[in-house]
A and B are shown apart, each in its own frame.
Chain A
């Protein structure tokens, strides 16, 4: 399995790469708080590109490579968190969460509740959304939707390097278990960012970001779909259709007020989500908008998701399954037709 692209510290300090941003977030939090440590597969070799230099700076006690034992490793992180540590577990490819689902759902999410508030579980589970990568059905999942029905978890899905860094820092400081999903399609992307000013910037969990203001249609998008939606909005802007793009950033708990406020203004909603359509986060957004802002709607809500088939290996079959600028443009057009 090839793990390109890698983050590499480049000469352009004004640009922040996605993977470097994640590394910086962890390093800064580890400097700030001695209880923060990282554990995961192949961290020390920086195989996935977001742990460069951590071993050298923090040593093997706080930068732990782990055996291939997802339930054991995540459960160990939970136990450590219960006694005062703040583990960040890089589970790498997100389907590797599945062997640990009992620990995530029955223990991490429920311990504070079932023990009546006696404990909390401040862990961050980092997992990449390794789709659109020619990796076939078992490696390509975008599984955040499975965890939406589990109260007690916080779920973050950043859409660019700058917000990813600020969100990861906040997630590490948060006292609850946070699932942090990183879109592979963003790994090689960078945003303009002044390192000096941004070094300690945090982005609050539970707050959506209005990425672009508009008057005619609200688009709520997650992960790399935010960038695609911005391109779609730009294109339609040239035709006189004004699109507002909202990045929820945290999908659980969801900042629904920001979405409702937008829909009350625009009267139209398109939800864009690279995950499978059935049971999707996009569907949840449309349900909440329909329940709460129905009277504001001027057109049927639309969603742009991946259809309910498995992800095939052949790129020619895979490519067209995910939301694209074109499919987002089409959906928006349908709402204003």
Chain B
């Protein structure tokens, strides 16, 4: 086992968990505006997939947007400042929680219209291919998005053009409150790969190493010209769709508790310790470091200025036109 890679995977998973816990706390204190869609339970799927990419590879995400850029290596300062609507936010206060993007680490943006990121990731792969680079593009999407037309159109386009893209489904079993078992025609979303003549894989999303191994092979295949793959991670959202949505009865308490026992962070920690790969001290130190990073990010955001209201008019166009003869 590669000690440093595993420690980094652990650090990124904890970073996502702690970052979101801090965000929930800030929301309760009234320091955050808007909605907050959190990820607890899905960190293994996210980090396993992201770590299988190179830093210069592309990644597109979803409205459940915090984990993906963190997984891809984005700095927490800009992300936290964005959640807190500051001018130093990674989107300069224009995007907020559902639309985080950090192009400096290949994070091409999270989108809040379900399914809309799939063609974007496909296009980034086309651009990589046409420019003759060996970059790969990875698209996160959910079980709900697998019913959108853009999912099917994208997989078809990627297949006919052999694009270097990995479609990664975080199947957390519910589109808000609607069960995938009632709305998706197949038991495994990965089975839909067959319709597009590409490999489909089902992985245990609570096992970060399994996710990593499978996505890595799909990424390697894409990078070497083998074309696209579809990977489906079976995972679970421990919290509600968004913070503040409580008392929904679409899932049994026992089901939630069952999944909570398979917390991807706890499972990974136990495994690392059991196998003696990383010492308890090193894991504790990683958690402490992450705690300090989060504190620093919050402090950075709090001390950053609000955007000037006039900035609402910036970034509408890349090229402002001179009108008038």
Residues of A within 8 A of B (CB): 35, 37, 61-62, 66-67, 69, 71-85, 99, 102-103, 106-107, 111-120, 122, 151-152, 154, 174-176, 204-208, 210, 250, 253-258
Contacts and interface: CB of A to CB of B under 8 A. Distances in A.
B325 interface: yes
Q: Which 8 A-B pairs have the closest CB atoms?
A: A79-B123, A75-B119, A72-B153, A206-B321, A116-B92, A257-B324, A83-B127, A69-B153
A76 B119 contact: yes
A249 B232 CA distance: 48
Given A83-B131, A117-B315, 17 more contacts: A62-B130, A72-B149, A75-B153, A76-B123, A77-B123, A79-B120, A80-B124, A82-B127, A85-B126, A85-B131, A102-B150, A106-B116, A112-B315, A112-B316, A112-B318, A118-B91, A152-B316
B94 interface: yes
Interface in B83-103: 89-95, 99, 101-103
Contacts of A35: 131
A151 B317 CA distance: 8
Nearest to B99: A114
Contacts of A85: 126-127, 130-131
Contacts of A208: 325
Given A69-B153, A118-B91, A118-B101, A102 B116 contact: yes
Interface in B213-238: none
B93 A207 contact: no
B109 interface: yes
A78 B318 contact: no
Contact of B120 (A37, A61, A75): A75
Given A67-B153, A116-B95, A257 B323 contact: yes
A77 to B, nearest CB: 6
A118 B323 CA distance: 25
B315 A113 contact: yes
A96 to B, nearest CB: 14
B203 interface: no
B319 interface: yes
Contacts of A74: 119
B110 to A, nearest CB: 9
Interface stretch (B154-162, B258-266, B294-302): B154-162
Nearest to A64: B161
B325 A79 contact: no
Interface of B: 58, 60, 89-95, 99, 101-103, 108-109, 111, 113, 116, 118-128, 130-131, 137, 149-150, 153-154, 156-157, 160, 314-319, 321-325
A21 to B, nearest CB: 22
B157 A72 contact: yes
A75 B154 contact: yes
A79 B130 contact: no
Contact of B149 (A71, A115, A119, A255): A71
A77 B157 CA distance: 11
Contacts of B153: 67, 69, 71-73, 75
User: Which of B92, B94, B323, B324 is most buried by chain A, counting CB atoms within 10 A of its CB?
Assistant: B323
A309 to B, nearest CB: 30
B127 A255 contact: no
A83 B128 contact: yes
B119 A119 contact: no
Contacts of A118: 90-91, 101-103
Given A83-B58, A107-B111, A119-B108, A114 B127 contact: no
Contacts of B322: 204, 206-207
B323 A75 contact: no
A119 B317 contact: no
A56 to B, nearest CB: 19
A60 to B, nearest CB: 11
B325 A258 contact: yes
A72 B315 contact: no
A256 B323 contact: yes
Nearest to B93: A116
Contact of A116 (B90, B126, B150, B321): B90
Contacts of B160: 67
Contact of A117 (B99, B113, B314): B314
Contact of B94 (A66, A80, A114, A254): A114
Nearest to A209: B325
A179 to B, nearest CB: 14
A37 B129 CA distance: 13
A101 B90 CA distance: 27
A82 B120 contact: yes
Contact of A120 (B124, B131, B137, B318): B318
Contacts of A83: 58, 108, 123-124, 127-128, 131
Nearest to B153: A72
Contacts of B124: 79-80, 82-83
Nearest to B312: A113
B107 to A, nearest CB: 9
User: Which of A78, A114, A174 is most buried by chain B, counting CB atoms within 10 A of its CB?
Assistant: A114
A97 to B, nearest CB: 15
A160 to B, nearest CB: 18
B92 A117 contact: yes
Nearest to A83: B127
B116 A107 contact: yes
A82 B116 contact: no
B150 A75 contact: yes
Contacts of A82: 108, 120, 123-124, 127
A115 B323 contact: no
30 contacts: A37-B130, A69-B149, A71-B149, A72-B150, A72-B156, A76-B157, A79-B121, A79-B126, A81-B123, A82-B120, A83-B123, A83-B127, A84-B127, A85-B130, A103-B116, A103-B119, A107-B113, A113-B94, A118-B91, A118-B102, A119-B103, A119-B109, A152-B317, A154-B321, A174-B318, A175-B319, A176-B318, A205-B321, A207-B321, A257-B323
